[in-house]
Amino acid sequence: MTDNKDPMIPDGKVNPIDTDYQIGQDNILVKVGPFGLDIHNRVFLISALTVILFVVLTISFKQQAEPVFSSMRGWLTANLDWFFISAANVFVLLCLVLIVSPLGKVRLGGTEATPDFGYAGWFSMLFAAGMGIGLMFYGVSEPLSHFSSAYAGVNIEDGVRVDWAPLGGAAGDALAAERLGMAATIYHWALHPWAIYAILALGLALFSFNKGLPLTIRSVFYPLLGERIWGWPGHIIDILAVLATLFGLATSLGLGASQAAAGLHYLFDWPQSSTVQILLVVGITLIALASVVAGLEAGVKRLSEINMMLAAMLLLFVIIVGPTLAIATGFVANLAAYLQHLPALANPLGREDVNFSQGWTAFYWAWWISWSPFVGMFIARVSRGRTVREFLISVLLIPSLACVLWMTVFGGTAISQVVQQGYEVAVGAELPLQLFAMLDALPLAQISSFIGIILVVVFFVTSSDSGSLVIDTIAAGGKVNAPTPQRVFWCTFEGLVAIALILGGGLVALQAMAVSTGFPFTLVLLAACVAVVKGLMSEPRA
């Protein structure tokens, strides 16, 4: 064990999670036991057995699984939409309060800490964290969907607004419908999701770098649970984090597989079936496994650099050959529309727009929350030396602006094709196909669409590899350099869970599990808000 002089830990000691562990270098829990495995028995075994049981049951009873997943998603989003919307608002408000409060002066790593990365490198990593399969899948489909609904007006059935109405609609007014549609899209990709990530990232950085606790989710709760974080309360928190992260990643991997299959069907007329999606999951998981074996530097870092380059190329291509002027003016106009309509979009009470508040927002917030251990741990690990104010402003703004730009370019181009050219192929296409339908109306469609497929695949690989590392870090009690076979296990089962969900109901099943694991972890994050504030209040200010 190691001394820790933080006033929050009166005994001056950090207890291990159990007697098989001791605190090693850099406050990482190290396994002391047979086989040389750095696993935390209870968290690893319970999480692993739960995932294995889920895969076996879902594949064995796939016909019965689909209606179960559909009912599960429907009940959770219909009854708890107000809860998810309210919780996300809490995270945003807390971030804003911390930015302007004296607690914003606290420095992550202590008063003498200096940043590990310069601004350019740090910003690029924050930007990279904001880019994922979700932007590829929804970059065209979500703005186009909201625009079409707003343009058509409010659809009322049995006195309930079922299609569109968070902002009142804009029947027949294309420009107004575009602004409303983009405002609604940006709401799902800007401040709220990044506030979710920022709260957990701040907690992990604070309690690891400043308090000397292991880099795992339970450490954030020391102010509330004290020494009990090393017992079952801490075990349950970490198990929930493992399951939320794994099912959140599986949702993204399933979306990526469906979009890659749609792109291959669009380009090469491959059959668009669950079999093709499963083969894609298997093939891409094998690539991810190779990346795992190659290691962080040779694997994830190299693939991430390739991904960023391809994403930038595709973005610039669409800007240049698409409606360049409309994109340039639309970025500012869309951002202004988002800020103008944010109070109405974030209102949790009296919502009649059930398709939007339940079908879109509740799912998104649960999905982002399930991703928060993954993204939060990444952000925490690269943010030592920043003040809380600097950290929160950057984490909220840099990725948010990147997402606004991406949605404006891809979604705005698709909307312009509909309004200016009467090109409605993308509108009528299924969600995974809409990106390729939009690219098909631009020059060099075959090349840009193929790059789009490659991007989806590489996003898949980097998410799977990085996610395996984060899940294993949590399951190993905070150890970041666990043996490779453990990451291979988690990487393999991410793919298996995605396959099970594809077989058990496709997109509905993927969304159902994201919402189901996101709900209990929302409770964990709300408690973390209190713990983070208590932790900051015990810190000296820079």
10 lies in a domain?
no
What CATH number does the domain containing 186 carry? 1.20.1740
* More confidently predicted of 535 and 291: 535
153 lies in a domain?
no
Model-level pTM? 0.88
What is the torsional sign of CA 444, 450, 454, 459? Answer: positive
- Report pLDDT for 508: 77
State the Cα torsion 74-79-83-84 to the nearest 10°.
10
pLDDT average, residue stretch 270-298: 81
pLDDT tens digits for range 314-339: 999 999 999 999 999 999 999 999 99
Instruction: For residue 475, give the amino acid letter.
Output: A
- Report pLDDT for 291: 77
148 lies in a domain?
no
User: What's the 3-state SS for 135-153?
Assistant: HHHHHHHHHHHHHHHHHHC
121 lies in a domain?
yes
9 lies in a domain?
no
247 lies in a domain?
yes
Cα–Cα distance measured from residue 256 to residue 461, given in angstroms and rounded to the nearest whole number: 10
- 39 band by pLDDT with thresholds 50, 70 and 90: low
- Report pLDDT for 503: 85
* More confidently predicted of 457 and 414: 414
- Report pLDDT for 313: 92
- 16 band by pLDDT with thresholds 50, 70 and 90: very low
The total number of structural domains that make up the chain: 1
Mean pLDDT of the chain: 84
Instruction: Give me 513's structure tokens.
Output: 């599990």
51 lies in a domain?
no
pLDDT average, residue stretch 87-107: 97
For the cut 70, the answer to whether the pLDDT of residue 214 exceeds it is yes
For the cut 60, the answer to whether the pLDDT of residue 223 exceeds it is yes
Domain range holding 35?
21-45+57-108+116-143+163-537
237 lies in a domain?
yes
pLDDT tens digits for range 287-320: 888 877 776 555 566 777 777 888 889 999 999 9
- Report pLDDT for 131: 61
Cα–Cα distance measured from residue 223 to residue 386, given in angstroms and rounded to the nearest whole number: 22
pLDDT average, residue stretch 275-296: 83
pLDDT average, residue stretch 148-168: 65
Q: Report how far apart, in Å, the C-alpha atoms of 394 and of each of 122, 124, 352, 478 are.
A: 9, 11, 35, 25
pLDDT average, residue stretch 490-512: 83
Helix (H, G, I), strand (E, B) or coil at 107: strand
Cα–Cα distance measured from residue 527 to residue 540, given in angstroms and rounded to the nearest whole number: 23
Instruction: Give me 352's structure tokens.
Output: 């009649």
For the cut 50, the answer to whether the pLDDT of residue 11 exceeds it is no
* More confidently predicted of 300 and 44: 44
